[in-house]
Amino acid sequence: METLAVHGGKKVRDTAFDKPNRYGAEELAELKEALEQGTLFHWHGQKVKKFQSMLAEMLDVPYCTATSSGTASLHTALGAMGIGIGDEVITSPITDMGTVIGILFQNAIPVFADLDMRTYTLDPASVEEKITERTKAIILVHQAGNPGHLDEILAIGKRHNIYVIEDCAQAWMAQYKGQYVGSLGDMGGFSLNEFKHISAGDGGAVVTRNPELAETARIFADKYADRVTGNREAPYLGPNYRMTELQGAVAVAQLRKVHAICERRTIIGDSINAGIQDLPGMLPPRVPEGGTSVYWHYMFRVDEAALGTTRDQFAAALAAEGIPCQAGYKDKCIYEYPLFTNQSIYPNSPFPLKSMELEIDYTYGAGMCPQAEAVLASSVVIPCKEFYSDQDVQDIIAAIGKVATYYHQHPVGI
């Protein structure tokens, strides 16, 4: 039995993983053209328009509005749907703040449903339980690039006559039964932030098949000004979530690469799944039937009892083998953040979580979604990058195998 690197043995991997520049001549050429237009305003330029039409065509949807971020795309979807004061929106407890920011800015209420512990996406049974007469929408987060249980969630939406928004920030080009995520729900939101499959520094997009939602989304994200009719007299409150031509230019170049990036990540993630599935105590992510994951990162879980050590000790030993990794994706579920536990959405008011007028008082805290909390407590995250070589992938599998086998044979007590 090989000595673990954490005990002074030889590392599986003693060179750093490559980190090439994701931007190159294609982005430079698009940026040059954008600047040569003499305008960086989307309505006057061509780059944002090009990005919108390219993405719509790729996803096979008729409508796309570019936005300034993924957060903006989800807020825009909620705004287009008319979600407002006191409405409930069901979503995932393990996600970025960007999923809930729009809900709260609309003075609506995030309601957290529990997760399927093998896919990390919304558990349809838990979603069903959370539905009340106030529920207006579900935001299904395709966590870590894994498509959610779309058939079941869309059926719940239909049955209760509520909207389904797909949060595709981590799931560019993930597929479900032959269609791209984002194109299946009422609306889909995408992020182009620095950490996503493709990036424009920041940016996003909201897509839909519904012409009325598309029309309102376009106007909502532009301060409720309608550039087509010229009507600038806002009937309602809307933010400025416009994408600039600089972002649009980079986004166009990045979009040309998105299929290659996502296909490679699928191969890498699926290979690690196959490579570790029979190892003691390893619980690789499960891709739903008919789905294709694009592995935003590679997140798997450990069964500490079967493994023979704690998740934290396992992650430390894996890191010592030269594999970049972290114990857990986030420290806490989002409902454990102070703005929820203190009911402090605004510095001077608990609204909308607590309101005498609306007769509501939503409290949040640890224990609300036990399966999601167990996912965070038992998961290990390894970056999954399209530029990893086959040897890199083999090293990741070998290191996980070395550490899992060692602890299985030398249990250390949990």
Ligand X SMILES: Cc1ncc(COP(=O)(O)O)c(C=O)c1O
Query: Which residue from 45, 79, 93, 98 is in contact with ligand X, where contact means CB under 6 A?
Result: 98
Which two tokens mark 358?
């609306």
Closer residue to ligand X in complex, CB, 167/245: 167
Nearer to ligand X, 69 or 313 (CB): 69
Going by C-alpha positions, the residue among 116, 146, 29 that lies closest to residue 384 is: 146
Question: Two tokens at 268?
Answer: 């890498």
- The window from 27-35, 162-170, 354-362, 395-403 that contacts ligand X (CB under 6 A) reads 162-170
CB under 6 A: which stretch of 25-33, 66-74, 253-261, 351-359 binds ligand X? 66-74
By the rule CB under 6 A, 193 interacts with ligand X: yes
CA–CA distances in Å: residue 157 to residues 73, 95, 135, 218? 20, 21, 10, 24
Of 128, 129, 139, the residue nearest 104 (C-alpha): 139
Identify whether the C-beta of residue 188 lies closer than 8 Å to the C-beta of residue 159.
no
Q: Choose, from 47, 50, 136, 196, the residue flagged as catalytic.
A: 196
Rounded Cα gap, residues 278 and 283, in angstroms = 9
How is residue 400 written in tokens? Answer: 């996980």
Between 99 and 135, CB nearer to ligand X: 99
The distance of closest approach from Cβ of residue 105 to ligand X in the complex, given in angstroms and rounded to an integer, is 13
Structure tokens at 244: 């600039």
Q: Is 196 a known active-site residue?
A: yes
**64 near 205, Cβ under 8 Å?**
yes
Rounded CA gap, 138 and 134, in Å?
12
Residue 99 is a binding residue for ligand X (CB under 6 A): yes
Q: Which of 52, 191, 208, 216 binds ligand X (CB under 6 A)?
A: 191
Does 70 interact with ligand X (rule: CB under 6 A)?
yes
Q: How far is the CB of 70 from ligand X (least distance, A)?
A: 3
> Which are the contacts of 285, defined by CB distance < 8 A and separation ≥ 6?
118, 119, 120, 144, 146, 269, 273, 293, 298, 299, 300, 301
**With respect to ligand X, which residue has the nearer C-beta, 121 or 309?**
121
How near is the Cβ of 194 to ligand X at its closest, in Å?
Answer: 8
Q: Interface mask (CB under 6 A) for ligand X, residues 262-281, using x and -?
A: --------------------
Give the type of residue at 158.
K
Contact call for residues 10 and 225 (beta carbons, < 8 A) = no
Among 52, 65, 71, 292, binds ligand X (CB under 6 A): 71
- Reading across the β-sheet that carries 282-283, which strands appear in turn? 282-283, 297-302, 379-383, 326-327
Closer residue to ligand X (CB): 69 or 310? 69
Q: Is 204 in the site for ligand X (CB under 6 A)?
A: yes
Residue count, binding to ligand X (CB under 6 A): 15
169 binds ligand X (CB under 6 A): yes
- Cα separation, 154 vs 137, in Å, equals 11
Cα 260–Cα 266–Cα 271 angle in degrees, nearest 5: 130
Question: How near is the Cβ of 191 to ligand X at its closest, in Å?
Answer: 3
Q: Which stretch binds ligand X (CB under 6 A): 68-76, 153-161, 305-313, 357-365?
A: 68-76
Q: Is residue 96 involved in binding ligand X (CB under 6 A)?
A: yes
The contact mask relative to ligand X for 119-148 (x = CB under 6 A, - = no) is ----------------------x-------
Q: How far is the CB of 73 from ligand X (least distance, A)?
A: 8
* Catalytic sites, residue numbers: 196
Site residues (vs ligand X, CB under 6 A): 69-71, 95-96, 98-99, 141, 167, 169-170, 191, 193, 202, 204
